[in-house]
Amino acid sequence: MTLIIVISAVLVPLVFGLSVIFLFFNTRIFNSRLMLLSTAYLIGIGLITYLLFLTFLIPLSNPLLWLMITVIFTSFISIYLNKDLWLDIFSKKLSMLNFKGNVLFYFALILTFFQLCYVYIRALSMPPSSWDGFAMWSFKAKILFYNGVYAIPFSSLNHLDYPLFNSFAQLWTYLLLGEANEILGKIVFPMMYLSLLALIYSHLRKYLTSLTSIIITLLLAIIRPLSTHATLAYADLSLTVFFSAAIFFLFDFIKNRDNKSLFLSAVFMGLCAWTKNEGIAFNITTGIIFCIYLLFENGISILGKVKKYLIYIGLSLSISLPWLIFSRLQNVNVDLFTEKTMTFSHILKGLNRIPDILFQFGKAMISPSFAMIWPFFFLVHIVFLKKILKTDLKYVSLMIVLNLMIFISIYIITPLDVNWHLKTSVNRVLLQLTPIAIFMASISFSRYFNDIALDDKKD
C-alpha cells in the first residue's frame, strides 16, 4: 500500500503537470516524450506545492482534499478539451528519447541507469541527515504536517525567510501517506534529479548528436554535488533544476521565438523564487538579460517586445509574489540584508574579501567534484569568444557571469565569517549554475568541431 501511495506521489504531479501543459501550452515545443514528461513533473510538483501553500494561507481545513479536487478538476477539463494531445503521449508521434543508438550510446544509457539507481537508493535508505536538509526544510515540513499552520514553535530556529518549496514538496508526500515519513518524503528529490537529466538531454539533443548529448548528461549526472544533493533534501537541487529548466526554455524562445517556451520559462523562474532566496536574484538577472536581448533583437516590434517582457515578468511574479508578501507580513528577518550589512562602510570593508572569495570559487571550480566542467566552460570562452559573441549563446554566458557576480557580492556583504560561509556554500551556489554552464560550453565546443551546426540537427 505504501508503495502505491509513493507512486501516486509521483504520478499525481505528473498528470497535473501534463494537464496544465496541454491546457496552456502545446506539445510543439517538446522534441521527445522524455522532455514532455520531465517538464510536466516539474510543473506539476511546483504548482502542487504552490497550491498547498495557498490552502495553508487561507487556511482550509483539509488541504489535501482541496488540492485533489483542483487536480482532478483540471485533469478532466484538460482531457475533455485536449483528448488528442493526451493520446499523443502514447502514440509514436513523439519519440521517447529521440535518439539513434549505437553501442556507446547504449553503454552510456546503462551507466546513467546505474547512476540513477545510486541516487534513488541513497535517497530512500535514510532520512535527512545534513544540517540544511533537516533544520531548514524537513523540520518545517513536519511542523506543517502536525500543526497544520506555518508557525515555528522554537525561537532559536532561524532562516524563516527561506521560501518553502522544499518543505511543501515533502509535505505533499506526508499528506498522501498520512504520516511524516522522513525517508519516503524525500522521493521528490531523486525525481527532480531525473527530470533535470531528462531536460538537459532533450535540450542538448536539439543541437548535438544523441551520443554527445547522453555523454554530457552522464557527465553532469555523476558530479558529486549534484548526485549528493539529490539525496539530502537541500533546496539547492530544486533551485538548480528550476533555474536550468527556465534557462533552457528561454534559450529555446531566443532560438525559435515560440511564445510557449517563453511562458514555460517564466513559470520556472517564478518557481525559482518560491524555492530559495537566490531564486529572486536569478529572476532579476534573467529579467536584465531578457531585456538586453529584446533591446538588440530586430525581428520583433516595440509593442511586441514590451508585451513579451511584461508577460514574462508578470507570470514569474504571479508565482513568487504570494510567498514574498506573506514572508514580509510575518516580519521575518532576511539574514543577509540587514541594516548592518547594507551600509557603505560594511560594503567597502567587504571588498577586501574579494581575493579570498575568488580563490575559493577557483578552488571549487577546479576540484574533481565538478568533473572539470568549469575549466571546460572557461576554456571554451577563451578559445571561441568571438564565435560565441556572434551567436545567441552569448546570452547564456552573460547570465552565468552575472549570477557569479551576484554570488560574489553576497559574500562581500555577508555578516557571517566569510571563510566559513564560503566553505559551507560555495559548492552549492556553483551547482546552481553548472547545468547551464555545461549546456552552453558543450554546444559551443561541438559547434566549433563542426560536429553539428547550431541550426542543423544531425542523426
Partner 1 sequence: MISFFRKHRQTISKTIITLLLIGISVQVGLRLKEIYKKNLPLIRKNNIWEKRSESIRIVFGSYLDPQFLAILKKIPANISFQCRFKKKWDFNILLKYWYYPRLIGSDNRVICYFDHALKKLLPEYKVIYQDGKGNVITIKKAFLKSILAHGAEKKKWLFLKGFGK
Per DSSP, the three-state class of 46 is helix
Cβ nearer to partner 1, comparing 79 with 160: 160
Is 294 a binder of partner 1 (CB under 8 A)? no
Are the CB atoms for 249 and 262 separated by under 8 Å? yes
**Based on CB atoms, which residue is closest to partner 1, 127 or 415?**
127
Minimum separation from the CB atom of position 155 to partner 1 (A) = 6
Q: What are the cell numbers at 27?
A: 506539445
Of the pair 323, 384, the CB lying nearest partner 1 is at: 384
Under rule CB under 8 A, residue 226 binds partner 1: no
Give yes or no for residue 345 binding partner 1 (CB under 8 A).
no
The answer to whether 242 and 275 are in contact (CB under 8 A) is yes
Cis geometry, peptide bond prior to residue 225 (ω within 30 degrees of 0): no
Q: Give the one residue of 66, 86, 107, 337 binding partner 1; rule: CB under 8 A.
A: 107
Task: Please name the residue ranges forming H helices in 299-372.
Answer: 302-329, 344-350, 354-366
Residue 122 lies near partner 1 (rule: CB under 8 A):
yes
Helices (H), 148-277: 165-177, 188-204, 210-222, 224-232, 235-256, 259-273
Q: Which of residues 165-204 bind partner 1 (CB under 8 A)?
A: 180, 182-183
Q: What contacts 248, CB < 8 A, 6 or more positions away?
A: 199, 200, 203, 436, 439
List 451, 453, 458, 459, residue binding partner 1 (CB under 8 A): 451
| Between 80 and 154, CB nearer to partner 1 | 154
Compare residues 66 and 139 and give the one whose CB is closer to partner 1.
Answer: 139
Report how far apart, in Å, the C-alpha atoms of 373 and of each of 190, 275, 366 are: 22, 25, 8
Cβ 264 to partner 1 shortest distance, Å: 30
Q: How far apart are CA 62 and CA 254, in angstroms?
A: 43
Residue 322 has which C-alpha cell?
504570494
Does 103 bind partner 1 (CB under 8 A)? Our answer is no
Residue 98 to residue 201: CA distance in whole angstroms = 10
C-alpha cell of residue 326: 506573506
- For residue 258, report the phi and psi dihedrals to the nearest 5 degrees: -90, 115
Which residues from 2-31 bind partner 1, rule CB under 8 A?
none
Least CB distance from residue 397 to partner 1, whole Å? Answer: 21
Total site size for partner 1, rule CB under 8 A: 42
Of 321 and 454, which CB lies nearer to partner 1 in the complex structure? 454
- Single out the residue of 23, 135, 280, 404 in contact with partner 1 (rule: CB under 8 A): 135
CB of 429 to partner 1, least distance (A): 21
Listed ranges 17-25, 124-132, 332-340, 352-360: which one lies at the site for partner 1 (CB under 8 A):
124-132
Q: Which is nearer to partner 1, 112 or 202 (CB)?
A: 112
Rounded CA-CA distance 127/183 in Å is: 5
Using CB under 8 A as the criterion, what x/- string covers residues 420-449 for binding partner 1? -----------------------------x
- Does position 450 interact with partner 1 (CB under 8 A)? The reply is yes
154 burial (CB, 10 Å; 0-12 / 13-18 / 19+) is exposed
Q: Can you tell me which of 121, 366, 379, 385 binds partner 1, judged by CB under 8 A?
A: 121
Q: Least distance to partner 1 from the beta carbon of 85, Å?
A: 37
- DSSP letter at 432 equals H
Which of 80, 154, 296, 344 is the binder for partner 1 (CB under 8 A)? 154
Phi, psi of 152 (to 5 degrees): -90, 120
Report d(CA 378, CA 255) in Å as an integer.
23
Contact residue for partner 1 among 16, 50, 56, 145 (CB under 8 A):
145
Q: How far is the CB of 143 from partner 1 (least distance, A)?
A: 7
Q: Is residue 153 within the footprint of partner 1 (CB under 8 A)?
A: yes
DSSP letters for 75-114: HHHHHHH-HHHHHHHHSSSS-SS-----HHHHHHHHHHHH
The footprint of partner 1 (CB under 8 A) covers 104, 107-108, 111, 114-115, 117-118, 121-122, 124-127, 129, 131, 134-135, 138-139, 142-143, 145-146, 153-157, 180, 182-183, 211-212, 215, 218-219, 222, 227, 449-451
